[in-house]
Amino acid sequence: MSLNAFITKETLDGSDDGPLAGKTVAVKDNISTEGLRTTCGSAMLEDYVPPYDATVVELLKDAGATIVGKANMDEFGMGTTTETSAFGPTKNPVDESRVPGGSSGGSAAAVAAGEADLALGTDTGGSIRCPAAFCGVVGIKPTYGLVSRYGLVAYANSLEQIGPIAPTVEDAAALLDVIAGPDDRDGTTRDAGADSNYAAAADGDVEGLTIGVPTEFVEGADEGVEAAFWAALDELEAQGAEYREVSMPSVEKAVAAYYVIAMSEASSNLARFDGVRYGKSGGYDGNWNEAFARAREDGFGSEVKRRILLGTYALSAGYHDKYYAKAQDARAWVKQDFDEAFEDVDVVASPTMPVPPFELGESLDDPLQMYLADANTVPVNLANLPAISVPAGETDGLPVGLQLIGPKFGEETIVRAASAVEN
């Protein structure tokens, strides 16, 4: 049986030579590909064919990569399992009764199963790192502003970044080298990364590296996950790194802050899918607001409706100060906690996911439980920081991911530290 890793399988050839010549790449289906349909995992965009390439797609082609298809994903990136896709769930290649994680589940599954050498995912609250951890591959969420978002269909602009998924740290870093750098079509990009050589940092040298472990990130994790996590840290210690516990009380509020901000931004971003400017119209006539509401009822799945409604609620008169403004305070608090931690340590470590991969269908009925699984990944997006998930052993035959978080534009540091985990 197929893993259902791709929504659309089609080959786009790149230029004849370049650093990715001969490499096949799966591209998440919320990244625009000229002439190749881009659905965001939604029935709303089932027939949408972008008239232009995203900047990262241009860069892939210029680097000689061959794009082999558009990878399955949670609808508009809203999910932690790839089960909210309108095109059916992707299976985890390690254990096909389990989810691959999400929302970039198709990208991670394709790489883990060898259906693509490399993949691009997007990470708004863990959507690259979670599936990388669940499928036993490497994923990097870059610093906000390192990679252009031009041509990425927006879900929550202030949080999301495009990043690489690969079998090894060095391969992931090499793909990041191709896509990183400023772009005048995305005003939030920075000069960092223009002439990067992150791949060269994958030298496995962690002599003298200091690792901070926030107790808040480890408490409550599954026992087998926790055991694999500490074993990985002991291994790094044996290679010359040292670790110490740090405290980051703000992260206890990170899930609530993240979801308020992401849902609020989503409620605004997804207003364009009204069946006239974008998306399926359904052919309804009459009052425009009613025609739009019916087209949106047909086109969106439950999780997308839930987030649009909750975001609308959080921004509505009387609730804005209670939810949105407080979430922004919490975001500033999380940033402050990370700043303080990085005064004493080089990287911050945690299990990427507090639990092993869910069984297919297990988490669909209880959205709040699904949101809580993002506890260790969302603080990174709130603080605009870079983080990598690298395989760190197993529990009951299922992959466990180690997350290493760096300071702003500290991609080399997390690549170096993660490469030592592979030793």
Partner 1 sequence: MSDTPVDADEVRHVAELARVDLDEDEVEEFAAQFADILGYFDALDEVPEVDREDELVNVMRPDEVREGLTQEEALSNAAETEDGFFKGPRVS
377 phi and psi angles, rounded to 5 deg: -100, -35
104 vs 363, beta carbon nearer partner 1: 363
158 is catalytic: no
Query: 401: which residues sit within 8 A by CB, 6+ positions away?
Result: 129, 132, 133, 134, 351, 352, 353, 389, 390, 391, 392
- Taking CB under 8 A as the rule, does residue 326 contact partner 1? yes
- Taking CB under 8 A as the rule, does residue 187 contact partner 1? yes
Distances (CA, A) of 330 to 289, 354, 384: 35, 22, 14
169 vs 330, beta carbon nearer partner 1: 330
- Taking CB under 8 A as the rule, does residue 316 contact partner 1? yes
- Taking CB under 8 A as the rule, does residue 256 contact partner 1? yes
Active-site residue, selected from the candidate residues 127, 196, 250, 419: 127
Residues 19-78 that bind partner 1 (CB under 8 A): 47-49, 51-52
Least distance CB 259 / partner 1 (angstroms): 7
Which residues, listed in sequence order, are joined to residue 66 by a DSSP beta bridge?
Answer: 24
**Residue 105: CA count within 13 A, CB half-sphere:** 39
389 phi and psi angles, rounded to 5 deg: -110, 125
Task: Determine the 3-state secondary structure of 141 from DSSP.
Answer: strand
Least distance CB 280 / partner 1 (angstroms): 7
Least distance CB 276 / partner 1 (angstroms): 5
List of E strands, 76-169: 118-123, 138-141, 161-166
> Per-residue x/- marks for partner 1, 122-161, CB under 8 A?
----------------------------------------
Rounded Cα–Cα distance for residues 401 and 376 (Å): 11
Judged by CB under 8 A, the stretch of 12-20, 137-145, 215-223, 252-260 that binds partner 1 is 252-260
- Taking CB under 8 A as the rule, does residue 269 contact partner 1? no
- Taking CB under 8 A as the rule, does residue 276 contact partner 1? yes
Structure-block tokens of residue 129: 């790192």
Rounded Cα–Cα distance for residues 165 and 152 (Å): 17
Phi-psi region of 95 (alpha: psi -120 to 50; beta: other; left: phi over 0): beta
- Taking CB under 8 A as the rule, does residue 271 contact partner 1? yes
Residues forming the site for partner 1 (CB under 8 A): 47-49, 51-52, 187, 250, 252-253, 255-257, 259-260, 267, 271, 274-278, 280-281, 283-294, 296-297, 300, 302, 305-306, 308-310, 312-314, 316, 319, 322-323, 326-330, 332-333, 336, 367-368, 371
Which residues participate in catalysis according to the annotation? 28, 103, 127
